[in-house]
Structure 1
Amino acid sequence: MIKTNYLVIGSGVAGLTFAVKIAEKFPEKTIIIITKDNENESNTKYAQGGVAIVLDTEEDSFKKHIQDTLIAGDGLCDKSVVEMVIKEGPKRLKELIVWGANFDLDAEGNFDLGKEGGHSEYRVVHHKDITGFEVLRALLNRVHQLKNITVLPHHFAIDLITEHQLETPIPNDLSCYGAYVLNEKSGKVLTIQAERTLLASGGIGSVYGHTTNPVIATGDGIAMAYRAKAQIKDMEFIQFHPTATYNPKGGTSFLISEAVRGFGAYLRNKKGYRFMLDYDERVELASRDIVSQSIDNELKKTGDTHVFLDCTHLDIKSFKKHFPNIYQECLDKHINVKKDWIPVVPAAHYLCGGIVVDKHGKTSINNLFACGECTRTGLHGANRLASNSLLEALVYAHNIYNYQCNHQTKPLSFIIPKWNDKGTNIPKEHVLITHNLNQLQALMRDYVGIVRSNDRLTKAIAHLDFIYNEVEELYKKSKIDTSLCELRNMINIAHLIISQSLERKENKGGYYNIDNL
């Protein structure tokens, strides 16, 4: 048994920001951060674009940013949440700078603001094209300076501990008391008892296989919360990034930031035609859902596997200065952006729904909070506006911190039982896991992709049930293993996406069903 005041599950911008704030405010409190990979591996690390924040009020305004967010969200945003997040942005940026994060400046020493799809003004604060990496660097550096934070890399959260695990359940009190955590190196399962638990576990991209997310994005936090009976909403709204590099073998794709289109790049089909002219008056700077659906439609019309991003007309020196990482990644793939078009295709990128939280980051389970991509705050509605995700994580981490300041934790007075794996064995082979994972990802791409139909969704449920039953049987007989737990979580996520897709009867934002026309 390990006891702590605060347990943080995830080491991206959401979890680290909260941990730093709590540790600085309460040096007597203990914080444990668990992460299933290295401490710097998260969706945050791969965030290229930046943080959307209104700074230049002569050209921009909170009102414009709010309106852009509401338009992208297609009528499903919570306006009060949108206003709160956007108005808090400048304060949260200042904190990042105090912690040591660096952002690009222009020749006059002002922030070199970028513009991305759906934005009416230049307002994206960035560090070249590796903003998330820079923010993560600064936060981890601060974490290591604070003695009351313990980071446990290669520790996988299996399940939340609620009254369901207690020998004597507490009636009418759905609460979280920590988590069962697998030490991936020793194979032992730890019982971590916490007065407050924060889920900051990131996204779900690996459910689709073809994704801009790292392979660790398997929806673990949402799946755990779902099994613990937390409220989950808007899972049908999957944002597909329009321009991921085309990878004929599938798997994780390199993301070509929306800022590249903001910089002036064109989308073309195989014949060289700039097809976005036919779909939206904003052409390449339309919101992500429109650009992704437009590309999907082009590919269905032509039978092609991908389209192209054309940067050949842009100033190459300026391009290399703004996007050095993208430029080098393309070179590594034998693409010279000065003369070659970049083959691109939409890939699963961001989940707009998730665990329902209020403005304090509180879930429907007592003592359980959530922050970042695993949540449904009401900010994104049916479709996230570019570069609003880091902003959301920073603001909600602060709100959750504020709540802790005003609502102190209380030590738990009862004993939590240890993890029980009697009667289980180490699987002799992993073929059932890899086979079912491949089946699941193909199912989601083919039946639950950018454009859906009731027929495909209904068939997907039947296919998923078969996978679920086989994996659950394996889970009950096996010693805990990260890959098996991830697959189980992804099956839960797929179920939520499919079932909530069938419940939606009108097309909104990132959700498009041909039977809802």
Structure 2
Amino acid sequence: MASVLVIGGGLAGLFTALKLSPLPCTIISPLPLGQGASSAWAQGGIAAAIGEGDSVDKHVADTLAAGAGLCDERMVRLMASEANDRIHDLLGFGVPFDRDLGGRLVQSREAAHSANRIVRVRGDMAGAAIMEALVAAVRRTPSIRVLEGVEALELEKWPDDTVIGASVEFIHENFDRAGGFMRADRIVLATGGIGQLFARSTNPPEARGLGLAMASLAGARIANAEFVQFHPTALDIGMDPAPLATEALRGEGAILIDNAGKRFALAHHPDGELAPRDIVARAVFEEWVAGRRPMLDARAAIGDRFPEAFPAVYARCRAAGIDPVTEPIPVAPAEHYHMGGVATDENGLTSLKGLYAVGEVACTGVHGANRLASNSLLEAVVFAARAAEHVRTELGEAGSPVRILDRSIANPQPEPMDEIATVRRLMAERFGVVRNGPDMQAALDELMALRISTRSRTVFRMTTAALLIASSALERQESRGAHFRTDYPETAPAARASEAPFPGLLVERYLATNGALA
């Protein structure tokens, strides 16, 4: 009987496992389910065109406009068309979406949406509430085996590019920290994003791009890696990760001002604070670099309603000594979401046989060059469901547990924090909101030298993921969506997707130019 391994305990992984039921599957996660998952930190909600006056066509049009010519329209329409069914799935799993007195789902508006279509939970608690409900649903589903404290290290495959399992490390105390191999007939990669490759990020510490690196090192195709979204309004309070001031605040009327109280977003786009995220992020970045400390002012628009309407943001502000009811909130752009990733088809299948990718680690083509707000959670559940259905169609309902083979004692090494800090600094300074060729090339060389010299498995994988982004950004000689270059500020007439070079090819290029390291 066939076996299924799901790598990752965030939204995409949990939803895949639930939709696989009753086909048995195994979820592995380095931390307890939901911990270390970006989904649990999502504040805005899920975009779904289910309200009066809205339509799938409008949602598609808004997504395509935000994506700056690089969205796959067929995939976007598929995602938007299946939103209603996935919302009802989540309701069935116990997610307490906000409702009005008549029992209808309450929907709000976020930037670049032409209608109120964001389904939320208590204003800014959607991610946490969704994850809480799904974790509970997974734990009560008999067909799902959960192994926490298990980290995937490498994908293993046959010479014909069929993935057959993963090398793992058991870090739970019951396993006495050991290495091993998990054999599976189908593997679903749901490892999340790359935020912690950057010095300022809204992502949890575990989002280091390790799944992206793992897939690439196995030979999977990586698409549009250069497109990294920076959220315009992370709280600028010196915390790492940077807490998020949800876009829903701007949807409710909060405005961006400088330290002199001057509103500045309208000078960059007619939609002001509700312009596409890349434009708002660059506007905030410009103020921040100029020393005019940008701030989000919700006093007039939200005021006394803030504690009840946005409890998560309110709590973060108060912990930092800021009262958003009476004071503007200092903000700065921070890495937030990766539009690129492991290339998949409409069923989550990658270029490697037997390997699926879902969630932020995947590139389905729905986000293009700039993700539309709150489409990420929708993409995760839509394509997780499609991947699960495809696996079930291929394998049937009968399955067996993933086999654990060749367990051996591991020899863990302390993480070299100085090397990790170097990666994060280079990515933040040279591959951030604004980029240019010479700086990117210099940083790429430093990252490659570190990748070759490091003795740390973690740094090796982090630099691998970073180089996929860096090389793709250097090769894209235009500005489009979230990728903005001062040396190529214009957008090319024809939009083209990109494919990152394989890591081995990048090493060959580097050594050909710089010579072998002693």
- Name the aligned partner's letter for residue 454 of structure 1: G
Answer yes or no: is 1:303 the counterpart of 2:291.
Answer: yes
Answer yes or no: is 1:113 the counterpart of 2:100.
Answer: no
* Contact persistence 2:2–2:395 (CA under 8 A): no
* Contact persistence 1:4–1:31 (CA under 8 A): no
User: How far apart in 2 are the matches of 1:153 and 1:332?
Assistant: 31
Q: What 5-or-longer segments of structure 1 have no aligned partner?
A: 164-169, 475-483
User: How far apart in 2 are the matches of 1:309 and 1:50?
Assistant: 20
List per-residue Cα deviations over 1:162-183 (Å, max 9, x = no partner).
12xxxxxx4xx10111111111
Match of 2:128 in 1: 133
* Contact persistence 2:6–2:13 (CA under 8 A): yes
Match of 1:255 in 2: 244
User: How far apart in 2 are the matches of 1:180 and 1:247?
Assistant: 39
Which range is displaced more, 389-398 or 30-39?
30-39
| Distance apart, 1:486 and its partner CA | 3.1
Answer yes or no: is 1:331 the counterpart of 2:318.
Answer: yes
User: How far apart in 2 are the matches of 1:94 and 1:137?
Assistant: 17
Aligned residues: 481
| Distance apart, 1:411 and its partner CA | 9.1
What secondary structure is seen at the aligned counterpart in 1 of 2:487?
helix
Match of 1:382 in 2: 369
Which range is displaced more, 199-208 or 330-339?
330-339
List per-residue Cα deviations over 1:12-45 (Å, max 9, x = no partner).
1111111011123x3xxx3111111221211110
| Distance apart, 1:295 and its partner CA | 1.2
After superposition, residues 62-77 of structure 1 pair within 5 angstroms as: 62-77=56-71
| Distance apart, 1:101 and its partner CA | 0.8
Under a length normalisation based on structure 1, what TM-score does the superposition of the two structures give? 0.89
User: How far apart in 1 are the matches of 2:39 and 2:106?
Assistant: 21
What secondary structure is seen at the aligned counterpart in 1 of 2:137?
helix
| Distance apart, 1:426 and its partner CA | 5.5
- Name the aligned partner's letter for residue 60 of structure 2: I
Match of 2:283 in 1: 294
User: How far apart in 2 are the matches of 1:508 and 1:191?
Assistant: 42
| Distance apart, 1:320 and its partner CA | 2.7
- Name the aligned partner's letter for residue 495 of structure 1: L
* Contact persistence 2:369–2:483 (CA under 8 A): yes
List per-residue Cα deviations over 1:189-214 (Å, max 9, x = no partner).
12110010000010000000211000
Answer yes or no: is 1:366 the counterpart of 2:353.
Answer: yes
* Contact persistence 1:195–1:411 (CA under 8 A): no
Answer yes or no: is 1:348 the counterpart of 2:331.
Answer: no
* Contact persistence 1:240–1:348 (CA under 8 A): yes
User: How far apart in 1 are the matches of 2:405 and 2:8?
Assistant: 24
212, 231, 234: which one aligns with 2:202: 212
Match of 2:44 in 1: 49
Answer yes or no: is 1:441 the counterpart of 2:424.
Answer: yes
**In angstroms, what is the RMSD of aligned CA positions?**
2.0
- Name the aligned partner's letter for residue 14 of structure 2: L
User: How far apart in 2 are the matches of 1:457 and 1:315?
Assistant: 41
User: How far apart in 2 are the matches of 1:275 and 1:485?
Assistant: 44
* Contact persistence 1:448–1:498 (CA under 8 A): yes
* Contact persistence 2:50–2:117 (CA under 8 A): yes
* Contact persistence 1:4–1:193 (CA under 8 A): no
| Distance apart, 1:277 and its partner CA | 1.5
* Contact persistence 2:68–2:368 (CA under 8 A): yes
User: How far apart in 2 are the matches of 1:489 and 1:425?
Assistant: 18
User: How far apart in 2 are the matches of 1:161 and 1:443?
Assistant: 31
Residues 320/193 of structure 1: CA separation in 2 closer, same or farther (3 Å cut): same
List per-residue Cα deviations over 1:296-354 (Å, max 9, x = no partner).
12233x234x4100011134343333211211221111111111110110000000000
Match of 2:143 in 1: 148
Q: What 5-or-longer segments of structure 2 have no aligned partner?
A: 490-518
What secondary structure is seen at the aligned counterpart in 1 of 2:315?
helix
- Percent identity among equivalent residues? 36
List per-residue Cα deviations over 1:376-423 (Å, max 9, x = no partner).
1010000100000110011101111221232127999xx9984789xx
* Contact persistence 1:4–1:32 (CA under 8 A): no
User: How far apart in 1 are the matches of 2:404 and 2:149?
Assistant: 23
